[in-house]
């Protein structure tokens, strides 16, 4: 509505509301008063017309008895003397016209219905006139001296009279009443609106002054105090506002004093935080460099040791010394496991230091998945697991870092095989909306819900008992998560204890622009065999 707009002042809104209310009240009262007056006038005119019809019936009795038109003329002339009567007629008892004056129309078929009433009635109500009919009776008085009967009278129907009463005066009166009432109502409404405007101006002026003081305080930022004036409620608002200004002024003084000391404190704390940040960065960088260096230093003698072991195994096999050969093979497997662990620590150090780089290359989805299958199938068979692979019928060309993508798949599948015994391990691949999606599912021991958010942390496994039973360092999933995010993908897990685990590995079909191949040193990440994966 007009008076609830947020852009108008309170005085304008109240004045508009009162104007609309007064106008509606005046208009409604004028219409109601005019309608009541018109109805009363209509009733008076109708009653007067019925009386005229009764008098005409009484005066036309002689003319009906004698069937004399001359006698009827006198009665009709008297009826026509009334202002609203525009036509009269007298009918015999057989409904035949005896005499007529003025304009009056009737339908012969309607006469029987009109003349069926024993008293004067309004027979027809048309838009601009009424038709009033009345029967004419001849009453004869008689005396009855029988002690068991009362005196009475007999009536004999002699004929009928009909009046045509015009509504012109009633319509004129209706128009005048509505016009005068509307004019009076509008004049009264105008006077009330003026009085309300003057009163509202006096009432709202203190509130307007208070609003201006608040607005000046908001725009200037100064603590302006308002004048306490006007009605009680407005004075209370002004006093509350002044008290608030006083409190704000006191608090601002305190803040100014605190701010002078706070700036010095902030500068000191900022310097300390900067030093702590730099120290932490140096520590992280030193840690990463240390891990990389120690891993590199460990790899060289370990690879040399593995080389000597292989030479000794060959010489002992030539001499058919089986027992030493088996011991040396166990040492070889332990060395291979240690080498794989060193490689994973080196990868983790490079991820944390930001030195790990991607080398995207083209490879088909079927080729990448099938190469992974060939590595994992022996590991699955070792624990008597059924290994199933599902590929889409149509092959797709991928642009990914093949080694890292395959390492993620190998880590996921090796975990599935390690934690599942005499169950099923499933690897499925699909392409949707520009992404390749691998799903690795198993029917193994599952992961508790409270542990699912922690499995991607480095050196983390489900619990200590699982680590003791199944082995491993807890680095595989942490490195897989790093690699996935580096390649612009996601790695999610869904699991229930005792019901198995499902990992969903998503990668874009085309590597993002910020992962284009850059010159980098050898990442020292080699493909792991199924035996190495089991040990990790």
97-115: average pLDDT? 80
Q: How confident is the model at residue 440 (pLDDT cuts 50, 70, 90)?
A: very high
pLDDT confidence of residue 77: 83
pLDDT confidence of residue 505: 93
Q: How confident is the model at residue 507 (pLDDT cuts 50, 70, 90)?
A: very high
Q: How confident is the model at residue 427 (pLDDT cuts 50, 70, 90)?
A: very high
Is the C-alpha dihedral spanning 398, 403, 408, 409 positive or negative?
Answer: positive
Q: How confident is the model at residue 534 (pLDDT cuts 50, 70, 90)?
A: very low
Task: Identify the H or E element spanning 340.
Answer: helix 322-353
Task: Identify the H or E element spanning 233.
Answer: helix 232-318
Give CA–CA dist 500/482, Å, rounded.
24
pLDDT confidence of residue 152: 47
368 pLDDT above the threshold of 80:
yes
| Across 11-15, 129-133, 429-433, least confident range | 11-15
Strands 152-166 and 361-364: unpaired
111-135: average pLDDT? 83
pLDDT confidence of residue 472: 56
Q: pLDDT above 70 covers what percent of the chain?
A: 81
pLDDT confidence of residue 2: 43
Of the two residues 472 and 16, the one the predictor is more confident about is 16
Measured CA to CA in angstroms, residue 420 lies from 411, 441, 449 at distances of: 14, 10, 18
- Best CA proximity match to 100, nearest among 113, 91, 109: 91
Q: How confident is the model at residue 506 (pLDDT cuts 50, 70, 90)?
A: very high
Q: Residue 527 in 3-state DSSP?
A: coil
Give CA–CA dist 45/393, Å, rounded.
99
Instruction: Count Cβ atoms within 10 A of the Cβ of residue 404 and give its class: 0-12 exposed, 13-18 middle, 19 or more buried.
Output: buried
Strands 424-432 and 435-442: antiparallel
Q: How confident is the model at residue 517 (pLDDT cuts 50, 70, 90)?
A: very low
The torsion angles phi and psi of 321, rounded to 5 degrees, stand at -100, 90
Beta bridge partners of 321: none
Q: How confident is the model at residue 502 (pLDDT cuts 50, 70, 90)?
A: very high
pLDDT confidence of residue 470: 58
476 pLDDT above the threshold of 80:
no
In the 8-state DSSP scheme, what is residue 449?
G
444-472: average pLDDT? 67
């Amino acid at each position: 509505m007009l008076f609830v707009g947020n852009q108008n002042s309170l005085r304008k809104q109240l004045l508009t509301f009162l104007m609309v209310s007064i106008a509606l009240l005046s208009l409604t009262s004028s219409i109601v008063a005019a309608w009541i007056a018109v109805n009363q006038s209509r009733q008076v005119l109708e009653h007067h017309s019925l009386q005229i019809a009764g008098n005409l019936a009484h005066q036309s009795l002689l003319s009906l008895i004698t069937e004399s038109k001359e006698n009827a003329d006198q009665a009709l002339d008297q009826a026509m003397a009334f202002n609203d009567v525009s036509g009269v007629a007298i009918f015999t008892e057989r409904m035949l016209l005896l005499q007529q004056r003025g304009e009056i129309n009737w339908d012969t078929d309607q006469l029987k219905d009109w003349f069926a009433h024993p008293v004067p009635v309004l027979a027809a109500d048309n838009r601009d006139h009424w038709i009033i009919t009345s029967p004419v009776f001849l009453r004869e008085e008689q005396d009855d001296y029988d002690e068991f009967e009362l005196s009475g009278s007999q009536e004999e129907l002699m004929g009928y009279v009909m009046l045509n009463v015009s509504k012109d005066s009633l319509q004129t009166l209706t128009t005048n009443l509505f016009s005068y009432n509307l004019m009076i109502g509008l004049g009264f409404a105008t006077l009330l609106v003026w009085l309300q405007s003057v009163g509202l101006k006096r009432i709202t002026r203190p509130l307007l002054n208070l609003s201006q003081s608040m607005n000046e305080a908001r725009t200037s930022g100064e603590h302006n105090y308002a004048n306490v004036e006007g009605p009680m409620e407005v004075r209370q608002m002004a006093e509350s506002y002044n008290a608030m200004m006083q409190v704000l002024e006191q608090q601002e003084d305190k803040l100014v004093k605190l701010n002078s000391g706070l700036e010095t404190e902030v500068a000191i704390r900022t310097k300390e935080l900067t030093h702590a940040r730099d120290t932490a960065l140096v520590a992280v960088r030193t840690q990463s460099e240390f891990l990389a260096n120690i891993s590199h230093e460990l790899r060289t003698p370990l690879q040399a040791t593995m080389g000597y072991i292989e030479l000794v195994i060959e010489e002992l096999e030539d001499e058919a010394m089986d027992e030493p050969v088996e011991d040396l093979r166990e040492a070889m497997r332990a060395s291979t496991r240690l080498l794989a662990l060193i490689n994973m620590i080196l990868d983790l150090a490079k991820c944390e230091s930001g030195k790990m780089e991607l080398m995207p290359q083209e490879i088909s989805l079927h080729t990448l998945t099938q190469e992974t299958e060939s590595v994992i199938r022996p590991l699955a068979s070792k624990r008597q697991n059924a290994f199933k692979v599902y590929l889409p019928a149509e092959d797709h060309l991928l642009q990914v870092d093949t080694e890292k993508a395959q390492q993620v798949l190998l880590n996921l599948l090796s975990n599935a095989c390690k934690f599942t015994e005499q169950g099923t391990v499933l690897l499925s691949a699909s392409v949707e909306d520009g992404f390749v999606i691998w799903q690795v599912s198993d029917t193994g021991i599952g992961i508790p819900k409270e542990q699912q958010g922690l499995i991607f942390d480095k050196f983390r496994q489900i619990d200590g008992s699982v680590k003791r039973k199944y082995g491993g360092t807890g680095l595989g999933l942490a490195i897989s998560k790093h690699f996935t995010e580096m390649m612009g993908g996601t790695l999610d897990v869904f699991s229930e204890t005792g019901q198995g685990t499902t990992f969903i590995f998503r990668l874009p079909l085309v590597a993002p622009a910020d992962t284009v191949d850059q010159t980098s040193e050898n990442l020292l990440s080699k493909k792991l065999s199924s035996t190495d994966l089991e040990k990790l």
